[in-house]
Structures are given as structure tokens and as C-alpha cells.
Structure 1
Amino acid sequence: MSRFESPSTPAPEQLGVPVEGGELSVLRWPATVPGAPTVVAVHGITANGLAWFEVARRLAGRATLLAPDLRGRGDSRDLGGPYGLARHADDVAALITALGLGPTVVVGHSMGAWVAALTAVRHPGLVRRVVLVDGAVTFPLPEGVSEDDALAAVLGPALARLSMTFPDRRAYREFWQRHPAFAADWSDDIDAFTQRDLVGGEPELRSSCVLAAVEADGAQVLLDREAATAVHRLPCPGELFWAERGLLDEPRGLYDEERLAAMGLDHTHPVPASAVPGTNHYSILWGRAGAGAVVRAVLGPAAAGPAAG
């Protein structure tokens, strides 16, 4: 079994795609159906391309899925800065161009949703549709709340782990198994995704995420005007799915109907926003309901069925 494979999800291929400053590492699950579309899937702020394992499984070869490790993460950790959401959007555009994909579907989770929307705005000829998963909508910081405090509150233990070392892989596994948003759903697939984040050697294993990249990108999620307005300026169709629960499985998630409406994403907005019941910020990506919603948004209503449902 390869280091990208779990017992229930086939292993992707790995590509190196030229971007400014070097190569972007990209995981590829190939289509098995002639004429199938291609989907580019962008992960969250401290994740890696293997986060899309469940979407890949449910696509079941009906589309080619390309999931890059963003600059400063995973096997792209040595691809240096400057970082920032626009830089990631330009990297996604470079990927689409280098592989000759033409206008394609771009899906993004969490920070990746801002990147997906921004890719469409900055490179409209390359994106024909975006699917945004629990991200892309920016709220103003409450009065008296600093950028650093807001970033720490939103990212929680995901940010803290970047400064931690772990004596072995088991310790890292136990760290994630204690995470309230992961514990109830733990699986071999989640284990493979989290283990792929580790670099270095025992007894000083650490996350592949470059702290400077996460800090720069997180600040832009909170404060960058170009990124904040991208969801309102999409030049192509889009759809937003949001989780009912939060990053730590708390009852209130990042979004709800009232808060989205306050930002203009109500029934009059061209990007429809739908809750995925029973999900938190992470399980919306790897659970049956959330991954099924993404697959249906990518492939259309005909995708509903045993492989995608």
C-alpha cells in the first residue's frame, strides 16, 4: 500500500506542475469514463491534497480529480513565498494552464473556497464553475478583536500544532483522534490524510505546513478585500455548501442563514447557499452528505446514486 492509499480509497498518482518558483505537487485520481470532466479541488489552510479522499471515492472515476498541495503545505512545502490567497489562485490557474484543461470546475474547502472564488475572478477564462465548501464568505472582525486573536480563535489547535513536534506517528494519530471534530468519524482514510502531513524523523516529527504561509494566508482570509469580495464578483456559476457545526464540532458553525443573509447571500444572490445537516467544518468534506453534495454539484443531478450518494 502506498503512502497515499487507505484500504477503502484508491491511491492517486502524483504530479509535479510548474508554477512560479518551482513545482506544485498535485494528487490525481484519473477518470475511467471517456469524455469525463476534470475537477480541481483546493484544500484548507493547514490541510493537504489528500483531504479530498472521500470526494475522489464518490466520483468513482466519473471525473478526473486534481488536488494540489498548496504552496507551503504537503509536498509543496518547499515552494517558497510570497504566500497569500492571490498567489494560491495564480498557482491553481498555472496548474489548469500547464495541463491544458481549458475552463474547468474548481472546488474549494475552507480557505480553499476563497482561493477557488479568487481563481475565477482573477482568471475567468479558466474556470467554468466553482463549488465552495464552508468558506469564501468573509465577515468583518468584531470591534475590539485583533487579527491575531481572530486567527487563533478560528484555527484553534490546527494552528497550535504547527509549532509542535511528535515523537512518532502514533503520537500524531492520537493528537488528531482527540480532536472533537475528528473523533466520532475516525477512519483509515482520515488517518492516511493526517499522516501525510508529517515530515522529519522520529523523535521530532512535525507538520509539513509552513507557519509563515499559514499566518500570511490566514490574515488574508480575515482582512483581504480582494478575497472577501470574490464570492460577490464571480464571473461564472457557483454554489456554496455550509456546515451546521464548527471547527471544534461546536453547535454554531462558521455560517448560518442569518449571517449569510447579512452578507448579501440570500435568495437574491446568484450563488445559492445550502446547509449540509449534521456536519461540522471537517466532516462536510469527508462525510456521506457533504461529499455527496459536492459530487452532485460537480456532475449534476444524475450523480445521485450508490457511488455518489
Structure 2
Amino acid sequence: MRSIQIPTPGGPLHALRFGPAESHDGKVVLAAHGITASAMSFVAVARALPADWALVAVDLRGRGQSAALPGPFGMDQHAEDLVAVAGQVGGPVVLCGQSMGAYAALRAAARRPDLVTRLVLIDGGLPLPVPAGVDPAAVLEATVGPAVARLRMTFPSEQAYVDFFRNHPALATSWNDDLTAYVRYDATGEPGSVRSRVNPEAVAADGRDLLTTSASFGADLCALRPPAHLLYAPLGMLGQEPGMLPQPLVDQWTRRSALTARLVPGCNHYTILTEPAAVAQVAQALTDSPIGT
């Protein structure tokens, strides 16, 4: 694992490169994480790739070691940043994103298909319908409100922060060393005031963007040129049914676009990137020929 810096407006964007320092024949995966996550989300996936493949996981603007980068935020900006990284690593690349990162990856693939050989969406990327008359702010609070609240909390120690995550209902029964490393990477601050390094303003801005521009992601899906595949979990952010992408929504977009989809059993919105069986399916989708429904 090596740190790399990619020049962008406002300062350098940070990423982690796993695997060989140089890769050829398009064997590079560029990965974008979820709304309050970091590049460390993809450690298990990187480990599952063949030895001659590299994975470059970005700390999106406002997160991880890119937390100090200023706005604007939103999927357009994240897509621009992903395009910059693809150019830096000598694309074209296999582009993937999980949760919010799937929307950023989708936007990047739609705008610069020349840089993308294949797009893999992981439990995200489909337009999320907001019922008529419902305030998007209320939807945002119901979905990512607890995560935003966590960003404003402080903890007496890094270990206390790890222990807080270990009690999460979607993670408690699947905890492992990768998740511990993920949480420690996110922690910042002195003892007595340890907190997440994620910028809450970035999370709020990105959440609003996902809800208020939902229709634009449908247009992106329908206009895509690279092969596009969706892997989705049966359980949601709290380990509950239904998942983030209910089956009728998946069916709608596999009918309306060239997207293919596969349900990954035995995982939730988070453990699709950490459970060994789920990770194996993610790695297969990234490196094999296009998968079918």
C-alpha cells in the first residue's frame, strides 16, 4: 500500500495504491468510496485481486487524507477528481464505486468513457426516487443523519472510537482487522477529543446533491458506453431488509439501460466490501469478462 497525490484545483487529492507499482494491459482498478468512508474501504477487495492487478482507492474530497480539500462538493466535482486520477495512473481503468462513490464513478464514466474499460457499481449508482412533496432535507436526515451526527462526536481515545464502530448493527457480527484499520485511518485528534476526519459539510452537500439531481443519474445510465455492472446487497445500512437498492428499482434500471446486475447474498451495504464471499464476487466483477444478470 502506497500513498499517492493527484493535483486538483484546491490542492492534492490523496489516494492509496495497492498491488504493483506499474500495471499494464488495463489491469488497474480505480475505486471510489461511500459518503462518510475513505480509501481504506477497499483493502479486502485489493487483496482479492490477482497479483498483477493494481487498485487505486481515492480519498474523495472532504474525506480521509483529502479531508482538508475545499469544495465545491457534489458528484460533478468528485467525477472530475476521478478523471484526474485516471489520467495520473495512465488509464483507461476499470472504474468502480460503492454507495455514494458509485454515483461519482457513474458520472465520471458517462463524461469520459475513453478512460473507462468497465464500470462496476457496488450497492449504489441507481437514481433514488424522492416521493413528490417530500422535503429532500427530511430524506437526507433519515438516511445519513446518524452518520453525520457521528462526525460531530468526540471520543476519549482511538480505541474508544474503534469500539463505537464495533457496536454498529451492520458490522458487529462481521468485525475483522480490516475494519479496525479502516476506523483507525479515519480517526484524528488528540486523546480526549478523537473524532472522524470527515468534513460534515462535504457529507451534507453530497447528500443534497444525490437527492436533488437524482434524475441526472438515470440519464447517465442510459447514455453509458462502457460495459456497466451492478453488485447489490440484500441488507441495508443497519443490516436490515430491504437493502439500499430494492429489487423493483434494480429491475427498473436493468430494463431501461444496458446495466447488468447481480445480487450478492449474505452481506449488507457495508460488508459487501469486507465479507470474504462477497469480496470474491466483487473481485470477479472487476477483473473478469462482463457478468450477466
Q: Same fold (TM over 0.5)?
A: yes
Q: Report runs of 4+ in structure 1 exceeding 3 Å deviation.
A: 32-36
How much has 1:228 moved relative to structure 2? 4.4
Alignment coverage as a number of residue pairs: 288
Query: 1:1-309 to 2 correspondence within 5 Å?
Result: 12-31=1-20, 35=24, 37-99=27-89, 101-224=90-213, 225-261=215-251, 263-266=252-255, 269-300=257-288
* Offset of residue 291 of structure 1: 1.4
Q: Which residue of 2 aligns with 1:304?
A: none
Contact 1:285-1:291 within 8 A present in 2 as well: yes
Percent identity of paired positions between Structure 1 and Structure 2: 38
TM (norm. structure 1) is 0.88
What is the CA-CA distance between 1:144 and the residue it aligns to? 4.1
Q: Deviations over 1:41-77 (max 9, x none)?
A: 1100100001001101101423110001000000001
> Alpha carbons of 1:21 and 1:184: their partners in 2 closer, same or farther (altered >3 Å)?
same
AA in 2 matched with 1:214: V
Q: Give 1:31 shift.
A: 2.7
* Higher mean displacement: 135-144 or 171-180: 135-144
Instruction: Please give the per-residue CA displacement for 1:162-193, whole angstroms capped at 9, x wherever unaligned.
Output: 11111111211111111100101111110100
In the superposition, the TM-score normalised over structure 2's length comes to 0.93
**Is the contact made by 2:32 and 2:97 (CA closer than 8 Å) also made in structure 1?**
yes
CA distance in 2, matches of 1:83, 1:269: 27
Query: Contact 1:220 / 1:227 at 8 angstroms: preserved in 2?
Result: no
Equivalent residues of 2:126, 2:253 under 8 A apart: no
Q: Distance in 2 between matches of 1:168 and 1:297?
A: 38
Instruction: Quote how far apart the aligned CAs of 1:32 are.
Output: 8.0
1:265 aligns to what SS in structure 2? helix
Q: Is the CA contact (8 Å cut-off) linking 2:253 and 2:259 kept in structure 1?
A: no
Alignment RMSD, CA only? 1.8
* SS class of match (1:202): coil
| In structure 2, distance between residues paired with 1:144 and 1:160 | 26
**Aligned pair in 2 of structure 1 residues 126, 34: CA closer, same or farther (>3 Å)?**
closer
The whole-number CA distance in structure 2 between the counterparts of 1:32 and 1:88 is: 24
CA distance in 2, matches of 1:219, 1:179: 25
- Structure 1 unpaired stretches of 5+: 1-11, 302-309
For residues 217 and 292 of structure 1, the distance between their equivalents in structure 2, rounded to whole angstroms, comes to 29
